[in-house]
Amino acid sequence: MTKILIVEDDAAQARVLSRAIALRRPDYLVLTSPNGLEATRLLREEDVDLILTDLQMPEMNGLELLAWLLEHRPGVAVFTMTAYGNEQTIHQLSTYGPVACFTKPVDVETVVTRMAESLQRDVRGHVRNLSLPGFLQLIEIERVTCTLNVEHDGRRGTLFVHAGELLDARSEHLAGEAAAMAMLAWPNPSITISGNCAELTRSINKPLNFVIMDALRLQDENARGRYPSQQPFASFGKELEATAIVIPPNAAGIAIVDLTSGAILSHGHRAGVPLAELSSMALAILRLEEHTVATYDASEQVEELALTTPSYCELIRRLPGDAPAFVLMVYRPDECNMVMARLELDRVLSETPWGSEP
């Protein structure tokens, strides 16, 4: 059941507001707390989905509670209310991100509507046994806003993502890009997804793909002493040059991408399909998977990967032999399936100069 916490020092107002919300949304469990300090004690024992807090309270006021939440519960959605709102209050609130503020006495209908909208947009869940770079790629494709709490082998960190963009990261004594790159190196961490982005101040100015590539490069450099050096793309035997490709009937786009430079050697796509962005993401994921496989067995090589999101499905396949390139086929899940996609890709490759062994 969805849990709502009302933090209000006026007991009578807290009861009225709690009953009014529960009457309109019986699927919500409404808890109350008389001040920010008591709220923090409750939050150490209870998980809540949304908080509605007064700003003027004894012991710990609403702004102090907001600061505590940013540090300890960054994924919880927060609304505020006050009878003394002014420009200074709005300015203070803006330092904590886009926090909505209702004027007292609050309009319960409006508050409940805004709560429902916020909770509907909320993305929550728990992910295990999935690489953090791969998961971030999916979040970027879907332009999700969330806070990711990442754990691995006793280490903890937090990533702040807004509309698919990585804004900031914190891990132990690290912050910003350094913290993000440290977490990207953790193999198969536990990832907890909380709704909303609790930190909207940007400290990471590089695109997510650049951060991932830098992290992979550092991993490669650090790993060279642990397993034999490889040259998996040593020879191709056919000239890599721009070749026209006809988009398969059931595909939204197709591209052949150079594994070394990331350059798109040949492509075709429908209008509106972000093929360049998807190709860049596919390159990062393929490099990550090949690095992971090589860590365990330097003789193995990734031949094909399949990625699925609500918007697009992607089939990533290494070209035959030692070709330093891969083909990416993008299709919409409501128009094609994996079996059809593989058949289409087989047909397309058979009709190109790169479709057979050199």
- The answer on pLDDT for 294 being more than 80 is no
Find the range with the poorest average confidence among 17-21, 152-156, 179-183, 297-301. 297-301
Q: Where is pLDDT greater, at 75 or 191? A: 191
Write down the pLDDT at residue 154. 84
Instruction: State how far the Cα of 84 lies from the Cα of 104, in Å rounded to an integer.
Output: 8
The pLDDT-based confidence of 133 (bands split at 50, 70, 90) is confident
Question: Which amino acid is present at 320?
Answer: P
CB atoms within 10 A of CB 30: 18
Interatomic CA distance for residues 151 and 148, integer angstroms: 10
**Pairing between β-strand 2-7 and β-strand 50-54 as defined by DSSP bridges:** parallel
Angle at 45 between CA 98 and CA 33, to 5 degrees: 60
CATH class of 2-121: alpha beta
Q: Where is average pLDDT lowest: 44-53, 202-211, 231-240? A: 231-240
* pLDDT of 351 over the 60 cut: yes
The domain limits of the chain are: 2-121, 125-223, 253-350
Q: Which residue, among 270, 248, 249, has the nearest Cα to 327 in the 3D structure?
A: 248
Confidence (pTM): 0.41
Residues 53-98 have pLDDT tens digits of 998 888 888 888 888 887 787 768 889 998 876 666 666 676 666 6
Beta bridge partners, 253, equal 269, 330
Spatial distance between the Cα atoms of 144 and 194, rounded to a whole number of angstroms? 11
Half-sphere exposure of 287 (CA within 13 A, CB side): 27
At 246-288, the pLDDT tens digits run 777 788 888 888 887 777 888 888 888 888 878 877 887 777 7
The pLDDT value recorded for residue 219 is 62
Q: What is the pLDDT of residue 278?
A: 82
Alpha helices by DSSP H, listed for the chain, are 11-24, 36-43, 62-72, 87-94, 108-121, 132-142, 176-184, 208-223, 275-296, 338-350
User: 100 φ, ψ to 5°?
Assistant: -70, 145
Q: Mean per-residue pLDDT for 152-174?
A: 87
CA distance 58 to 92: 18
Reported confidence tier of residue 7, pLDDT bands at 50, 70, 90? very high
Residue 235 has pLDDT above 50, yes or no: no
Distance between CA 114 and CA 105 in Å, rounded? 16
Rounded Cα distance between 283 and 334, Å, is 25
Under DSSP, is residue 323 helix (H, G, I), strand (E, B) or coil?
coil
Residue 228, pLDDT score: 34
**What is the fold of 253-350?**
Beta-Lactamase (3.30.450)
Task: Tell me what pLDDT residue 181 has.
Answer: 86
For residue 100 the two structure tokens come to 């909505």
